[in-house]
Amino acid sequence: MTECDNIEFIRKNVPKWNFITINGYNFREFGTSGVTEMAVASTHGMAILDEMIRRGYEVDWAAERLAFFWSGGMDIFEEVSRLRAMRRLWYRILKYKYNAKKDRSTWMRCHLQTSGISLVREEPYNNAIRSAFEALAAVLGGVQSLHVDSYDEAISVPSEEASLLSLRTQQIIEHETGVTAVVDPLGGSYYVEALTNQMEEKILAEITEIENQGGYVEAIANGYLSRKIYNYMYKEQMRIEKGEIKIVGHNYQKSGEGEGFEAFHYPEECEARQLQRLEDHRKYRG
C-alpha cells in the first residue's frame, strides 16, 4: 500500500503530523449509504494498521495519528447516532482487536463535510437550510472539525456570498445555539441510544462482509464494493424518481423557481493569469 510508505516517512520525519485522514466521504458522495461509508473506512483503517504491523511497527505508532473524513446526511437522528456508534466501535476495534495501549489510539477523530449530493439545482437557496441541518447533526454527533457546503454548489463553484453564508452557518451553530457547551448532548435519549446500537450493529455487519471478501483491498479488487455502491445508488435514485424519497423543490412541492439563478463564473482573466503562473513556475523551477 503506497499510502503506508507515506505514513512511514511522515511518522519518522514529522512525528506530530496527522499523516492520514481516511476518506469515507467520497464513497458516500458516490452514492452509498452512511453505514457502508463507515464500514468501508473502518476496513481501510484496519488494512493500514495491519500493513504497518507487518512492517514491524507497534499499532500505537500508527493508530494515534489516524483520523476519518465523513459525509453528513439529512436524517438528523441517524447522523448523530452513526457518529456515536462509529466512535464506540472504533474504540473496541483498537482496544480488543489490536490491543492498543494508548488512549489516543482508540479515538475516532474525524472531520465532516455536509453532503454535496443532498444539494439540488432547483430552488438553490433551500440548500442553505439543508446544509445547516446537516452541520447541526454533525456537531451534535461530536465531530472535531466541519465543512459546510454552499447553497450554489449543485450549480457552480461557490460564490463569495455563498461561501460566507456557509462560514456563518458554522459560527452561528458554535456561538449562538449552545450545542457546543455539552459533550454528547443527545446521550441518554431512548431513541438516540437505541438507534446508536442499531447503527453499530449494521456497521459491524458490513465490516464483517468486507473482511469475508479478504479485506478492504481485496473487496475493491474483486469488484465487491463497486457492485454494492452501484446497487444502492440505483435503488435510491429509483426511490427519488418515484417520489418515495421527497426532496422539497426537486420532486415535491415544486415551484419552478431557480431556473434564472445567476451562477458564479470565474472572470475570463483568471484563466490567463493561472496559465502564466504555471508557465513561469515551469521556467524557473530548479
User: What separation, in Å, do the N-terminal and C-terminal C-alpha atoms of the chain show?
Assistant: 30
Residue 111: per-residue pLDDT: 97
**Which single residue is written with the C-alpha cell 451553530?**
173
The whole-angstrom separation of Cα 210 and Cα 167 is 37
pLDDT of residue 132: 98
Q: What is the pLDDT of residue 259?
A: 64
- Closest by CA to 150, choosing from 171, 176, 124, 122, is 124
Per-residue pLDDT, 286: 62
Q: Which tens digit of pLDDT belongs to each residue from 224-250?
A: 999 999 999 999 999 999 999 999 999
* Cβ-based neighbour number of residue 263 at 10 Å: 13
At residue 1, the pLDDT reads 75
Chain-centre distance for alpha carbon 70: 2
Residue 254 grid coordinates: 415544486
Architecture of the domain made up of 2-284: Alpha-Beta Barrel (3.20)
H runs (alpha helix) in the chain: 2-13, 25-30, 34-54, 59-63, 76-92, 126-141, 160-176, 190-212, 216-221, 224-241, 268-284
| Positions in the chain short of pLDDT 70 | 257-260, 286
CA 184 to chain centre: 19
pTM, two decimals, is 0.91
Predicted confidence at residue 269, as pLDDT, reads 85
